[in-house]
Amino acid sequence: MPFGIGMSELLVILVIVLIIFGAGKLPEIGNGLGKAIRNFKDATSAQSGAEKEAQGKIAAAATDTKKEIEGKNHGE
């Protein structure tokens, strides 16, 4: 299991959470946790998209600069 936590430890944690929050609140807690994870994934994937776009612009600028330099060298 992840983090070195076995099945019995997870069961104890679940029972403690059930006692503290009650059975009625567990779906709300799970829903909130799921939304938080989804928002985190969306934020990281959006950042990756922006990074790819920036890399494309940098590559295009580098190609243009290379063509300019080659053109100047051939003109000499």
Q: Tens of pLDDT along 19-62?
A: 888 888 888 888 998 999 999 888 877 766 777 788 888 988 98
Q: What is the pLDDT of residue 35?
A: 93
Structure token pair of residue 27: 């779906």
Q: How far apart are CA 43 and CA 66, in angstroms?
A: 35
Domain count, the chain: 1
N-terminal to C-terminal alpha carbon distance within the chain? 67
Give this prediction's pTM: 0.45
Which of the four pLDDT bands, split at 50, 70 and 90, describes residue 12?
A: very high
Q: In terms of residue numbers, what domain contains 8? A: 2-75
Helices (H), the chain: 7-21, 26-75
